[in-house]
Amino acid sequence: MSLAKNNASKKRFDGTAYLYIAVVLLLVAVIVVFPIGYTVYISTTNMNLYHWYDFDFIGFSNYIRAFAQTNGEFLRSLGLTLLWTIANMVLIIFVSLVLAVLLNIKGFKGKNIYKTLLMFPWAVPSYVSILLWRIGIFNGEFGLFGDISRFFGGDSFFILQSYWGAFFASLMVNVWLSYPFTMSMMDGALQSIDQSLYEAAKLDGSGFWRTTFAISLPEIAPIVAPSLLMTAFMQFKQFDVVYLLTLQKGAQTGAGLQTIITYVHTTAFESNNYGLSSAISTIIFMLIALLFSRFAYREAKGRGK
């Protein structure tokens, strides 16, 4: 009797709750779901320069084309994007962790000043930072790289003109732009660790490395995991670093570096084939959604335990 009453009130509550969030759901539908749905719809049409307004439904032809391109540009850019994501994550985690651990050394004076300085890349608009890197660091004539080369008796060289040189340079800039977020997450997580654990470890004679690997890392892992996951997806769909360093109109360096997102951009805005580029965008979306749901499921399962 009481259980039935509870169930009934629960049902009524659910209905009211949906009513309350109806406006938000509508907003989400308009802002998030509709653009995704429209992109999927366009991906099944032949919307391109020659069918700008009179496009027709063509089924999955664009998806087949994306994978079957004779020069394999799509698959090559997908492969490079995976490498890009992995390399970035390894470097971002390493740099962030080292800095966060250093910032949390007991008795470290001027910690707040250093922390503010280290957050600097986050504060500057990325457009400005990237162009500053391009001219101030990578430029063969006026940049730091050119100066170093000439100092050691070499010639001026322009790193952004070669494929792997541009990859390395883009990686460097992206890590510089991305570490402040991860570092601040790790810093916060490190501060939340119960100090008695460190005291106990100290009494047991544990050194810096042992303490880091046995206490710090396992303790912060569950806290920083969601932010790392988010960072990984941000790296996967990174656009502006590679574009502004090597592909910007009028300043193309000819490196030929294409990640999946710059490839979509080229297809959409140079080839003007919105059907094909929407199909590629949908594939990327599915990949991210698939990976994200898998990680989110694992995380939820982990928490449940």
Partner 1 sequence: MKRQVIIPLAALLSVVALAGCAPEGNDSSTSSGTPASTTITFWHDNDKAMMDYLASAATDALKDEHIVVQAVKKSGIQDQIKLYGNDASNGPDFFFGAHDAIGAYAEMGILSGIENFASAETLGGFMESTVDAGEYKGTKYLFPLYAETNLLFYNKDLWKGEMPTTTEGLLQYNKSRVAEGGYGFLNQYNDTYNAAPWVNGFGGFVIDANANPGINNAATKEAAAYNAKFAPTMSDGAYDTITNLFLEGKADGILAGPWFVSSVKEAGIDCGYVSLSRFALPNGKGLAPYEGVQGFAVMKYAEAKKEAIGKALEAMADVEVAKALAKDYNCTPALTAASNASEVTSNEMIKETQYTIAQTAVPTPNIPEMGVMWTPFTNFLTAVNKGGDVDENAEKFQNEALQAIANMH
- Per CB under 8 A, the list member of 226, 270, 290, 302 interacting with partner 1 is 270
Candidate segments 18-26, 107-115, 178-186, 263-271, binder of partner 1 by CB under 8 A: 263-271
Candidate segments 9-17, 84-92, 109-117, 137-145, binder of partner 1 by CB under 8 A: 137-145
The DSSP-derived string for 32-86 is: IIHHHHHHHHHHTB--BGGGSSS--B-TTHHHHHHHH-TT-HHHHHHHHHHHHHH
Rounded distance, CA 85 to CA 186, Å? 20
- Per CB under 8 A, the list member of 142, 164, 208, 297 interacting with partner 1 is 142
39 touching partner 1, by CB under 8 A: no
Which DSSP symbol is given to 125?
-
Which residues, 6+ apart, have CB-to-CB distance to 235 below 8 Å? Answer: 84, 85, 88, 89, 92, 174, 178
State the number of binding residues for partner 1 (CB under 8 A).
Answer: 37
Q: Residue 177's closest CA among 259, 91, 258?
A: 91
Candidate segments 98-106, 200-208, 237-245, 269-277, binder of partner 1 by CB under 8 A: 269-277
CA angle 218, 220, 223 (to 5 degrees): 125
Which DSSP symbol is given to 152?
T
- Per CB under 8 A, the list member of 127, 213, 269, 297 interacting with partner 1 is 269
- Per CB under 8 A, the list member of 134, 238, 244, 284 interacting with partner 1 is 134
Interaction site with partner 1 (CB under 8 A):
48-50, 52-53, 69-71, 73, 134-135, 139-142, 146, 156-158, 161-162, 247, 250-256, 266-267, 269-273, 276
